[in-house]
Chains A and B, each alone.
Chain A
Amino acid sequence: MLISRLRLENWRNFRELDVPLRDVTYILGANASGKSNLLDVFRFLRDVGKSVGGGLSAAVNSRGGFDDLRSLHSPSASEVLVDVELSEDADEQPLWRYVLGFRSLENGMLAVSREEVARKGEILLRRPGPDDIQDDALLSQTHLEQTQANARFREIAAFFSGIRYLHLVPQLLKYPERAGVRSLDDDPFGAGFLEKLAGTDDSVRRARLEMIEAFLRTAVPGFDTLQFVKDERGNPRLRMLHSHSRAAEGWRSEESFSDGTLRLIGLLWSLQEGGPVLLLDKPELSLNEGIAERLPEVMERLRNGSSKRSQLVICTQSEALLSNPGIDGRGVIALEVGEQGSRGRVLNTQEMEALDAGFSISEAVLPKLRPKFLNRLGLKE
C-alpha cells in the first residue's frame, strides 16, 4: 500500500496543495520552498496516530503549536486540513481515504473540525458526529489515535505508524552528549541510529551491513570492512577498516567516519529496513557527486530487494541526483514559491516532452526552480 494522493489546506507554506504520489516521489524546490515542511506532513500523520505519546495535541505542540503550523497566508480562524488517499498501487483506485481538519478555538484549545475515513468510497467515520455534538471535549482527540475508536480502520493507523524519516545528522551520532539527547524521537537523527542497529536481529543486521559494506567498497576509496561491535561499556558502535591498514591498528570507530560515509550508511540501512513509507530529506548531503548520481538506482535496487518495499518520498535539489534520465517524471513534484506561499505541481506537458526527448529532470525541470537573481521581465513564464 502507498499514499497515492496528498491534499493540504493551510499547512505551513501551503495554502493549498493537491498532488499525486507514486512508489518513488521526488519533491523539488529551491531553498525555503517548503520541501521539508511537506515531508513533515507524513510524520505528522504518524505522530497523530500514535496511541502512546502521540495524538493530535502532542503532534501539534511538538511542531510549535497551531499558529506555527497554520499557513501564514491563511486567515487565523481557518482550519488546517490534511487529506490522504492510500492505494495498493499508484495507478489504482484509492482503497482508503483519511481526512483530518483541525483548528484552534478561541480559548486556545485545539479541536478536530473534521475527521473522515472512507474505504473504497464507503464512509466509515464522519466527525463531528452526534457524540461530538453532545460532548465537544471529544473533539480534542482524533479517532485515529484511539485504539478503541479506530478498530474499523486500524489498517491505516498501522500504516501511518510505520512512516519513517531519515535525516541522519552525523554530529549527533558522533557526539550524542553534546546534543544533550540520546534520541530525539523515533527517527534516527543520531545516536538513535546505533541503538536501532543494536536492536536488530543479529543475522538481519549482518546481512544488511554486508550489503552496505559491498556498496562502500565501490564508493569509498580504500574502504574495506564495516563491523558492528559493542564497546567495553556495552554501547553499540560501528567501526571500519581501510584496506591499506593492518587490523591491529587500523580499526576506526564511527566518530572518525566522514559525514558522507555516515550518511550513506544510514541511508543504505533505512532502505533495507522496509516499512510503508520512508522519507528522505536531501539524501545527497555530504555525498560526492558521483555517488549522488547513482543514488536513484541504488535506492531502487535496495527497495526492490526488501520484502517490505517502502514508498519513498525524497526531497532534493541535487543536479547530480536528478541527472539520471531513468527517473519517472510522473513521480516528480515541483514546488514553486509565489505570493500566496508555495504551490506544488506535477510536471507539465512540455517538461514531459523534454523527458521523452531524453533529457533528465535536472535539465528539464531544475532550471525553472533556480532562484532568479536577475529581473527577467518581458517573457511570459
Chain B
Amino acid sequence: MYWNVATEDELSESVAERLLRSLSPPVELVNRFRRRGFGYLRKNAGKWRSLARTQAVLLLTDLDRAACPPGLISEWFGEHTRMPDRLLVRVAVREAESWLLADHEAMRSLLDSHSGLPDAPDTLPDPKQTLLTLARQAPREVRLGLVRQEGTRLRQALRYNSLLSEWVFTEWEPERAAKRSESLRRAIHRIKERALEFSGK
C-alpha cells in the first residue's frame, strides 16, 4: 500500500512521516501534501476522500481551538458520511507540539533540562507557547534557533521548523511519547491497525 501524508505545516509533516517510519514492515511514502495555512486540509476534503480510493492518506491536523476531534472531523467531512478506510484523519490535541512535549527523554536531550516538562501535554491550552517558554532555558544554539522575543510575546525563531523536524527524526520516539499523550497513543494505534490491514495489498 502506498501512503501519503497531508499536513498544514512542516513540523506536522515531519511528525506524520515519523509515525509512518516506525511501522514494521516499512511502508512506502509516495507524497507529502502540504500547504501552509488554515483551511488547506479542510478545503480539499473531497480530494482526500478521492485519493483514498487507491492510496492511503494520513491527514494530521491540530485541534487548535475546536472543541473535540470528532467535532472537527464531522465539520470537515460532513456529519454522517462514512470515511474511506484508507483515509486516516488524526487530530493532535491540541497541537503537534503536545506530542513532542510528551517524550520527556527526547525533550531533555534537546533542552538540556527536564524542569517544567508537562505530565499531561494533551491538557495544555497552548502547547507551542509552553515549548517556546521551555526553550528559553535551552543551550544557546537551540534557544536561538527556536525562540525569539517580540515585546512580551515569545515567537518561533527562524529555525523552529527545521530544528524540531530534525529532532523528530533523530531523537523523538513516538511510543515513548504515547505514554503521556492519549491522542498520540490512539493515533499510533489506528495507524498500525490500518497498516496491518493494508499490508500486502
Binding site for B on A (CB under 8 A): 350-351, 353-354, 356-359, 363-364, 367-368, 373-376, 378-381
**Shortest CB–CB separation between residue B27 and chain A, in angstroms?**
7
CA distance A354 to B44 in the complex (A): 12
Which of chain B's residues have a CB closer than 8 A to the CB of A353? 51, 54-55
Q: Indicate which residue in A356, A358, A367, A374 contacts B31 across the interface (CB closer than 8 Å).
A: A367
Nearest CB in chain A to that of B10: its residue: A374
CA distance A373 to B165 in the complex (A): 10
**Beta-carbon contact of B28 and A381 below 8 Å:** yes
CA distance A356 to B47 in the complex (A): 9
Q: A354-B4, A359-B33, A375-B169 are in contact. List 19 more A-B contacts (CB 8 A).
A: A350-B31, A353-B55, A354-B51, A356-B50, A357-B47, A364-B31, A374-B162, A374-B166, A376-B17, A376-B21, A376-B169, A378-B21, A379-B17, A379-B20, A379-B21, A379-B29, A380-B29, A381-B28, A381-B29
**Shortest CB–CB separation between residue A327 and chain B, in angstroms?**
16
**Shortest CB–CB separation between residue B120 and chain A, in angstroms?**
30
14 A-B Cβ contacts within 8 A? A350-B55, A351-B31, A354-B51, A357-B48, A357-B51, A358-B50, A359-B33, A359-B44, A367-B32, A374-B162, A375-B169, A376-B17, A376-B21, A380-B26
CA distance A367 to B16 in the complex (A): 15
Nearest CB in chain B to that of A319: its residue: B35
Which of chain B's residues have a CB closer than 8 A to the CB of A375? 169
**Beta-carbon contact of B33 and A363 below 8 Å:** yes
* Size bracket, chain B contacts: 20 to 34
**Beta-carbon contact of A379 and B27 below 8 Å:** yes
B196 within 8 A of A: no
B46 within 8 A of A: yes
- Which residues in chain B, 98-149, are within 8 Å of chain A measured between CB atoms? none
Nearest CB in chain A to that of B23: its residue: A379
**Beta-carbon contact of A363 and B35 below 8 Å:** yes
Given A353-B55, A374-B165, A358:B47 Cβ within 8 A: yes
Nearest CB in chain B to that of A362: its residue: B35
- Which residues in chain B, 17-66, are within 8 Å of chain A measured between CB atoms? 17, 20-21, 26-35, 44, 46-48, 50-51, 53-55
Which of chain A's residues have a CB closer than 8 A to the CB of B166? 374
CA distance A279 to B47 in the complex (A): 33
Which of chain B's residues have a CB closer than 8 A to the CB of A359? 33, 44, 47, 51
CA distance A376 to B28 in the complex (A): 13
CA distance A353 to B165 in the complex (A): 29
B76 within 8 A of A: no
**Beta-carbon contact of B26 and A350 below 8 Å:** no
Which of chain B's residues have a CB closer than 8 A to the CB of A351? 30-31
Nearest CB in chain A to that of B33: its residue: A363
